[in-house]
Amino acid sequence: MSLIGKEVQPFAAKAYHNGEFIDVSEQNFKGKWSVVCFYPADFTFVCPTELEDLQNEYATLKDLGVEVYSVSTDTHFTHKAWHDHSDAISKIEYVMIGDPSQKISRIFDVLNEEEGLADRGTFIIDPDGVIQTVEINADGIGRDASTLVNKIKAAQYVRNNPGEVCPAKWQEGSATLKPSLDLVGKI
């Protein structure tokens, strides 16, 4: 069942953020745009490359009013240890949520039940706490965080401009479409 257009279900979790342990819930996703990035496990191979890449886009995302959350089924303690010992992960300034109960991974339907680990899932959530985009990758396929910037700009544009939609490869400032009977079969 698709999660698009659904509000994030309630959860409570511990996270590591800027040298502290904090509490996080679905309420953190309200009032601003959010990116939630699930990954299989700390101290692995592809995961640190993805999270470092996400950090490289973090300032741009913050400028767009977006907060970033990474999530794995590790604990918040493990996130701190990884942050303390990995050159790539020590750069991270966004929230790293622990999901050892696997509840959040189940809510977002990214839990690989056989392994007890999250799949590589990326979610863009609007300020109402509603999921607007979902991307799920197989374990061996790393994500490119730069693609998030255009997706968020498109999602924000559509939210702020009812009746307009963004076509494929849309870039900020380029033409949008106004769906109507006149466009059917003419694109």
Instruction: Point out the catalytic residue in the list 35, 37, 47, 166.
Output: 47
Q: What angle do CA 146, 151, 152 make, to 5 degrees?
A: 95
Look up the pTM and report it: 0.94
What DSSP character marks residue 114? T
Checking if the pLDDT of 71 tops 70, the result is: yes
Mean pLDDT of the region 152-179: 93
Where helices occur in 17-165 by DSSP H, the ranges are 46-56, 58-63, 76-85, 103-107, 146-160
pLDDT at 178: 86
What's the confidence (pLDDT) of residue 184?
A: 74
Q: What is the mean pLDDT of residues 57-63?
A: 98
Query: Residue range 80-84: average pLDDT?
Result: 97
Confidence category of residue 183, pLDDT binned at 50, 70, 90: low
Is 47 one of the annotated active-site residues of the chain? yes
